[in-house]
Structures are given as structure tokens and as C-alpha cells.
Amino acid sequence: MTKKIIIKLVLLITLPLVSHSQIKVLVWNDEFEYSGLPASDKWGYDVGGDGWGNNELQYYTEARAENARVENGNLIIEARKEQYGSNEYTSARLVTRHKGDWLYGRVEAYAKLPSGTGTWPALWMLPTNWVYGSWPKSGEIDIMEYVGFDPSIVHGSIHTEAYNHVIGTQKTATYSVPDAETAFHLYAMEWTPEKIDIFVDDIKYFTFSNEHKDYTTWPFDQLFHLILNIAVGGNWGGMQGVDPNIWPQKMYVDYVRVYQYIQSDQIKISGPNFLSPNQMGVKFSIQNIANATFSWEIPSDATIVSGQGTNSIVVNWGANAGNVSVQITHPQAGGTYTLEVKTSVVPTGDRFSLLDIKNNGLMGWAGLNTSPNTITLSQADTLLRVDYTITKPEDFPYFTYTFPNPVDMSTLTVLNVAMKTYNESNSVVLRADPFDTDGRLADVSPVFKFFPVAPNEEFHFYSFDFNNKWGSDTPEYGKQVNYKQIAGIRFYVNYGIYGKAASDSLWISNIILSNILLKNIPLKYKNVTIFPNPASNFIKINFEQLYQNALRIQIIDISGKQIKDILLDNSMEIPISDLPQGFYTVRLTSKSSLIAIGKFIKC
């Protein structure tokens, strides 16, 4: 509306100068650009008719359109002469308590006031938590008070234990507004740790300074909330009686806005850093900097659903990761601000490997070096080696693997870890808890623990199906892990009641997601000699002491996938030049029975 544009221009011209390092930000507002009851996410109600400590006559109702409503772009608070229980008048007292609570800033309302003897409208603030005790100990800020028997005079006041009207020490001032009942005016307060200033139409007429004594003179270091109301009669409003012929009376409010000041280095985009592919209705926002313009950019396969040109957008994301950025035009806060957004990997097929030590090394892995427990991670060719010395297992020592990108485990819910150890200390006990991008751990029961770990030099799969086991009590009790955005795994080693003071080592060759539990390689077999080992082009197997009849040989890669299946004889060379580098298992079978096993390295 035109009147709003005019007021904004006045603000630009007359507001006090602010340091260039401080940026004025709109943190809460209601423009009343809707119809019906006041917005429930912004406003609540104080309800009752017991006089409110001032012998007031009205009953404050709750969510009653006759007393508080929004129409034609204005909030209307209406005081009415009508019997309501034992009260002869009704009205409304709107509060932002627990919906808008602030420490410092600027509060302003553009309003037109009611008229007539007995009316007492106000725009004011009370403490949310009453830290210093009941009124007036915790303070009161009156941004605008107006009594109908004294027209044209607007009052601004501060109440504390040391300064209040009950003991005649109140701090107050007045300002003449001849057309307060027929025209809209801007009533405002600016509050810092040092002082509170009160304005009409950006003309400051009252200052209350912090004396730096104690709460009795300055309780204004706590959260306060806003109140809008019309009282009827009372100790002050009814000093000259109540005219019974003027009702109903209305206060019109065009908008209410709350600003705070931030440092320029605090400006940043808020929104998720991780998304699922094609996630819908995602919100990104940046501080609503006063008098700034905003222009957003997102990846080409995403769509801005709403909000372009404002400080907040809603986006339908695409399939790929990318940056969300906003170009801000503003004298002090201008520039481009960017947020990197990663997209979850959605595995395909029935198996998905999460580990590639050969190419990625120790990227994403983090050990522990907190005395007296030590966990050291190192790369052993294509393997992760874990060496630990634990003296306080009750500290729940752990190491962590954070994936390069979050992974969606909604279809592949089984976590399989291929691991080996000699377990010479008989202390190798592990637990693996996936965690999501919000840091919630899948601390399920029964726990996903590798116990006991087979003490030999062979790799074995240790598996757990997390389907319907995504409950989390860490770091918050009774939460649910977002299994579409699993960010990594925490491995507890030699921990808790399962642990003991000891040192040992283990090796991890792969971490695989699957839709079934992966089976361990059977332990009842003979070992065979494979040469050359390591090998590059071919291998031969010495099985003269096994069976002289024809055998089948299967070559299995480190993920458990069968690569070759060959019928061979005693002299046959097995070509391997087509295999990628890595560790392989050789299985020899006769009449479908496993009789021997061996391992080799393809170099």
C-alpha cells in the first residue's frame, strides 16, 4: 500500500547512522496481508477479566473475531461494550510470547489509535521468563500508551524495580500527536545493551540509559515479547470515567516489524547441506536485510517454486549436487553468498561398495588420539589397518568413516564389513553405527556388534540388517535416523562392557551395502599354493596333493563377487591380465564341494 512505501522512505532518511559493520535485519514481522484471525504462528492471547492489576473493566477473549481480526490489510483490535461473564466489556490482548521473543533490536508498529474517554490502547513489552522476579523486578517497556481522556498525547515509559509508577519514580516522556486517532503513525523502540530509545515517526523523544548498576535499574538483558491491546477503564485509563456511548472502539495496525543488527560476517544462507535426489519443497533463506534486493541462482536441474526476489526461496531439487547462491544488493551487505549442497548417492543393484582405499586412501577416516586410548589408522595397500591401545574401554573409544557423499540406505539396508584379525589379545570387539547428516546414530538394539571376531588371517563378512532398526537415542533421545542420508559409520572398538585393557590390530577390506546378509567364506578347507604371487598376467595352482581328477576354480573379488569359473587340470595357467589390481580369493571345488582355498594379489 502507498502508505507503507512512504514510511520506508522516511526510515531511510531519518534513522540514526549505524556502523558499516552492522547490518539491519528484519527478524520478525506481520504485514497483515491476509484475512481472518491473527496468524497463530505469530500471535497468542492473554485471556481473562480479573482487572489485570489495574482494575480494568474488560474481559480479554481468545481467538474471537469480534475482538481481534485481520481485514483489508490491517489488524483490528476492537473493544466492545457487551456482557461477557461478569465483565461489561470485551477486548483482546495479543502477545508474541514464545512465538517472538527478543533481546535487543528495533520494534515498530504503524497504527491508528481508538478515541474516547475510557480507552487505553498500548504497544508494549514484558519479559518472557521473568528472570528477576515478578513485576516490576523483571522490567516493562511501554513503546506507546494512549489514554482517551487526554487526546493527542502519546506516552513512552520504562518500569523497573527502582523506577516505576507505584513508588513514583517512573521514567517516562510524552509526545504530541494531534491526529493519533485519525491517522496512522509509526511507533517504535530501539534497544541496545546501553539504552532504550522511543520514537514517534522516527523522532526520538525518550531515552532510558543503562546505569550499569544491577537488575533493579536495568533488567533489560533478557528476552522480552510484544503485546498489543486495548484496555477499558482502569487505574489510569479510567481516571475520568468510561464514556458508555463511544463503543465499539478499534485500534488499526498496518504492520508490526522487529529488526536486529548483525555483523556483516554473520550473513549466510540457511538450508540443508544434504538432499536426496529430486527432493521437493526445500527451503533456503538468508537474513532479511532491510532495504536489500535478492536474486537467487540454483543448479540447472532444480526449480525455484517460490520466493525469487525475496530473502527466502522454496526449491524442487534435481538429481545432482550443486551450489545455491544469492546476489544481494545493499550498501554494506552487498555481494554473492553461496551454500554448497551435496546430493545423496542412491545405490543401484543388489550390492554397493562404500570403500575404495586404493584410490581414496584414508580420505574420510578419522582415528582417535585421546589419552589414555589410542586408535591409529593406516593404509596397507588396498586395506585399512586399525591399530589400537585401549586402557579405558568405558570411554567407548571409536574411529569414524565419513562417506564422500551421503548414501541412501532405504533399499540396501544391510551393512556388511569385510574384516580380518589375528586377535592375539582376544580383545577385538567392534560395533558399527551408521549416522545421518544430522549426526543421529543408529544405536539399535540388539546392537550391531562384531563379537567375537574370528581370530585368523582370513577376511569374513560381519553383517547387520538395519531395516526398521533406525531408532536413535544419540545425540537426542527417541529420534529416528534419516536413512536416506547416511553420512558415515562410527566404529566402536574394544569398548564398554565388552572391552578390556589391550592392544591389537585388525584390517578392513570392504564395506558393502546389500539387500541380504552376505555369507562368510567357510572355514573348513585346505590351503593351496598360488604362484607367482603377486602376479600380473597368469597364476598357477599347486594341487598335486589334492585330487587328480578335474577341478573347478572360482575367482572371487574382494566384494564377494565371482569373476571367473573355470574347469582346469594340473598344468593349466589361469589368465588374470584382464583383472583389476587388488586382492582375490581362489576357491577349488570338486563335485560342487569346496575342498581348498587360496589368495593372491593382482599387481
Active site residues: 140, 145
What's the CA gap between 289 and 94, in Å, rounded?
27
What is the DSSP pairing of strand 582-590 with strand 293-297? Answer: unpaired
What's the CA gap between 413 and 563, in Å, rounded?
25
Beta-carbon contacts of 218 under 8 Å, excluding residues fewer than 6 positions away, are 160, 210, 211, 212
CB count within 10 Å of CB 580 equals 9
Rg for the chain, CA atoms, rounded: 36
Phi, psi of 14 (to 5 degrees): -110, -10
With H, G, I as helix, E, B as strand and everything else as coil, classify residue 599: strand
Q: Are 88 and 238 in contact (CB under 8 A)?
A: no
Whether the upstream peptide bond of residue 575 has omega within 30° of 0, thus cis, is no
CA nearest to 189, candidates 164, 229, 224? 224
Q: Are 327 and 295 in contact (CB under 8 A)?
A: yes
What's the CA gap between 363 and 553, in Å, rounded?
36
CB count within 10 Å of CB 375 equals 21
CA nearest to 580, candidates 564, 596, 566? 564
Q: Are 224 and 101 in contact (CB under 8 A)?
A: yes
Residue-by-residue DSSP string for 543-567: -TTS-SS-EEEEEE-TTS-EEEEEE
What is the DSSP pairing of strand 269-270 with strand 203-209? Answer: unpaired
Q: Which helix (H) or strand (E) holds 54?
A: none
Cell 560395533: give the residue: 431
Question: Which residue type does 271 have?
Answer: G
What's the CA gap between 405 and 425, in Å, rounded?
36
How is residue 415 written as a grid cell? 551393512
